[in-house]
Amino acid sequence: MFNKITLRDTIRIDPKRFDQPLEDAAYEELRAKYEGLVDDNLGYVISVVDLEVNPVGRIIPGDGGTHHPVIFKILTYFPELQEIVEGEVVEVADFGTFLRIGPVDALLHVSQLMDDFISFDERQGVLLGRESGRTIQRGDVFRVRIVAVSFPRGRSSGKIGVTARQPFLGKLEWIESEVKDTMPAEPDEEDEKE
């Protein structure tokens, strides 16, 4: 889930940035500090989107920079357990695929793809279901459920696990076919006349 969160902090403006407008310098400092951060409370910080910096800063003895209170908004992505998301296959391997969901990649393990024996064609970079004939390759779009999330501290990417082995989950073409199979047949025109 994407969120817009308002935070407060005090940032240090380096003396090298004193020739810049205060808001531009503050924005650059906030971007360097927050963008790309992964936190178990915030999720994945994508971008600093708005800020208000107090023009009255403090000078700390022995430090040439100025310290300014700032209120700012960040755009984050916080994957929640059991959330249904769609993602594009960005990598295919013998053990599964990686789906791009939001700003991160999630692992869709072969055991969570489908009820079929799956083989990997390394030359073509394709996973193939033996009985169903279904294929998975780069660029395919999947609807999946998030089943595992781990947030490390700092700038590491963390881990997200997803499943497609539930009704109406999987490759979008498979879902369309599944929906058509479950819809009642429309009556013929001749049946309606009787």
Give the pLDDT confidence score for residue 161 in this predicted structure.
Answer: 93
pLDDT category, 6, cuts 50, 70, 90? very high
pLDDT, tens digit (0-9, with 9 covering 90-100), for 151-171: 776 556 678 999 998 888 999
Instruction: Return residue ranges of the chain for CATH 2.40.50.140.
Output: 84-182
State both tokens at 54: 């107090």
CATH topology for 2-77? Dna Ligase; domain 1 (3.30.1490)
Q: Give the CATH number of domain 84-182.
A: 2.40.50.140
Give the pLDDT confidence score for residue 103 in this predicted structure.
Answer: 87
Spatial CB neighbours of 92, under 8 Å, sequence gap ≥ 6: 120, 125, 126, 127, 136, 137, 138
pTM of the model: 0.74
